[in-house]
A and B are shown apart, each in its own frame.
Chain A
Amino acid sequence: MNKTAVIEVLVGLFVAVGVAALFILAFKVSNLRSVGDGEGYVLYARFDNVGGLKVMSPVRAGGVLVGRVVSIDYDQETYEAQVTMRIDAHYDRFPVDTTASIFTAGLLGEQYVSLEPGAEEDYLADGDEIQLTQSALILEQVVGKFFYGQMTQ
């Protein structure tokens, strides 16, 4: 290859790297992205209110990360939010009476789904729905209730 060709190849490389970085900014950093699915099995849970829960939010059991939220939909039949979670394949022993709650990490932190195992002998399998759920605590509602209680006293 002569010198011009080498320069052209290097400029091509430069442009390709720049465009690749643009794709990273578009799909990894900003919200121009759809979530791909990884390994593991899927569980569903219905909540009255998911609060600030997001796709990709963590699912924890005993504080340990066991999975992620893959989608959040609104079910128009039951007027509830349906959360789809993908649980890591080797955490496959959650009893069928497991409770799913939405908690906040710290006062200002992100929200996550917490799984508290029940006592049943049967375990949840791929595609099962968690029956016992507890919605997110909405700070404004709590504060509002508190003030309303004070005023009616």
Chain B
Amino acid sequence: MMSSLQRLGRMTLRFFARLGRGNLFMLRVLAGMPSVLPRFRLLVAQVYHVGFLSLPIIVVASLNVGMVLGLQMYNTLVDFDAESALGPVVALSLVRELGPVVAALLFAGRAGSALTAEIGLMKATEQLSGMEMMAVDPVRRIVAPRLLAGIFALPLLAILFSAVGIGGGYFVGVGLLGVDEGAFWSQMQDKVDWREDVLNGIIKSAVFGVVVTWIAVFEGYEAEPTAEGVSQATTRSVVFSSLAVLGLDFVLTAFMFGEP
């Protein structure tokens, strides 16, 4: 009895200690942000790694999501003779929810895990302490450019996800199933609002970009400097950032679209 209570207490304390360390770490990174801008090259290299190299998986996934969405929604809507509503259904689902969320989940798996493993391995091989020895702050030199690149890249990837997904829905709906092309686009334009839907989706993906990359670099920086520790940190990074994205998505949706 006492021991299980003690374990619960220890877990709670550990959780809050970790949360506090995460926030302090974020403050340090934010303080290091201004020093990234003069070293623009570092940022470009990171955008290449987390952004450009994520393009294939984002494009393939979004095309499939859009096509499946078009097919499924068509089968339901055609019963009500309302298949012309396919355009708004596909576009709204993608722009509001699927684009930001699925792009963030894929980003956590594709780029977040790589960031954690890279930083964790740097720590395990004592490259980070080596830098400190040379009076180079690893938070400024290693972590800050990666965080900034993630925050910059994920909204772009999410926008691309939505656009390609709508293309996939268009291909299946209009190209294969014969929904009227004009109705598809005109109803979509009628229902999808630029500020309400598109901009809110972009804000969502920016928030996800901060959270996913933050968790990824923090887990890497906090990793046990052993092979096992790095592997655990990578797993935690993907699991925590995925859960954070899904949880935050509900909160953000409630804030953005909850009230009419």
Contact = CB atoms under 8 A, between A and B. Distances in A.
A31 B193 contact: yes
A23 B234 CA distance: 36
B119 interface: no
Interface in A77-105: 105
A30 B194 contact: yes
A65 B190 contact: no
Contacts of B217: none
A22 B190 contact: no
A145 B190 CA distance: 30
A32 B163 contact: no
B180 interface: yes
A65 B197 CA distance: 31
B47 interface: yes
Contacts of A18: 155-157, 159-160
B166 interface: yes
Contacts of A14: 47-48, 51-52, 55, 153, 156
B35 interface: no
B182 interface: yes
Given A7-B48, A29-B198, A15 B189 contact: no
Contacts of B182: 56-58, 65, 68
A30 B183 contact: no
Chain B contact residues, majority secondary structure: helix
A31 to B, nearest CB: 5
B203 interface: no
A125 interface: no
Nearest to B161: A21
B186 interface: yes
Interface residues of B, number: 39
A57 B186 contact: yes
A24 B159 CA distance: 9
B194 A32 contact: yes
Interface stretch (B16-24, B68-76, B79-87, B105-113): B79-87
B7 interface: no
A41 to B, nearest CB: 17
B188 A29 contact: yes
Interface in B110-143: none
Interface string A16-39: 011101101110111111000000
B180 A58 contact: yes
Interface in B171-227: 180, 182-183, 185-190, 192-194, 197-198
A29 B52 contact: no
B190 A31 contact: yes
A141 interface: no
8 contacts: A11-B44, A11-B47, A11-B51, A14-B52, A21-B164, A30-B194, A65-B180, A68-B182
Ranked nearest first, the 9 interchain pairs of A and B with the lowest CB-CB distance are A106-B81, A18-B156, A56-B186, A21-B163, A30-B194, A14-B52, A30-B192, A21-B160, A110-B84
Interface of A: 4, 7-8, 10-11, 13-15, 17-19, 21-22, 24-26, 28-33, 54-58, 65, 68, 105-110
